Amino acid sequence: MKANYSRYFIVTCICLSSTLGSKTAAAQAASPCSLLTSAQVTAAVGVSVGAAQPIANTGCSWSAPHMLVSVSLWDGSASGWGKIKTPLPGVTKTSVPGLGDDAIFSTLGPAAKQFVTLSVKKGNTAYLFKVYGPTVTEQMTMEKTLAGDVLTKL
């Protein structure tokens, strides 16, 4: 009889730990569209944006006339972050102090048509912010604002 109780106890413990463990892992992996509200994006970019649109299960975008904003989640482990920081031909990587565990701007393209993305590492997740449309200086300011908004939720 004691053996049966022991088996039930062990099976129950295994089921509970697998159930609770999966919920904990799911709770840590936030949905990209839950990271920012349309109001936050509107405030950061200075124009009214539409509702959040998922990009598969790793990104989210907001759009307005002549502007597109996106945030994507990437692997922020040591190897994943190392790949993001790896120098590439034609891409200037600039460290951004004060955001997350580490952050960099990646600027690419010819001077007249440059584009910049902000990558922010927090824990084992890398958040990539992109604002398409404005000047590079405006992109940097907007992306830093969006990153700050996301980091306050983490």
Which of these, 105, 136, 124, 132, lies nearest to 47 by C-alpha position?
A: 132
Residue 36 and residue 146: Cα distance in Å, rounded? 8
**pLDDT, mean of residues 73-80:** 93
Residue 33 DSSP symbol? G
| Residues 32-57 pLDDT 10s | 999 999 999 999 999 999 999 999 99
Least confident of 3-7, 18-22, 31-35, 47-51: 18-22
Place of tokens 């088996």: 7
pTM for this predicted structure: 0.80
For residue 36, what are its two tokens? 């920012």
Report whether pLDDT(85) > 80.
yes
Residue indicated by tokens 């936050």: 40
**Burial classification of residue 100, based on how many CB atoms lie within 10 Å of its CB (0-12 exposed, 13-18 middle, 19 or more buried):** buried
Sign of CA dihedral 137, 138, 141, 143: negative
Query: Hey, where are the domains in the chain?
Result: 1-29, 31-153
121 close to 81: Cβ distance less than 8 angstroms: yes
- Kindly report the CATH number that applies to the domain delimited by 31-153: 3.40.1000
Order of strands, sheet of 91-95, starting from the edge strand that comes earlier in the sequence: 53-55, 59-64, 67-75, 125-132, 115-122, 102-108, 91-95
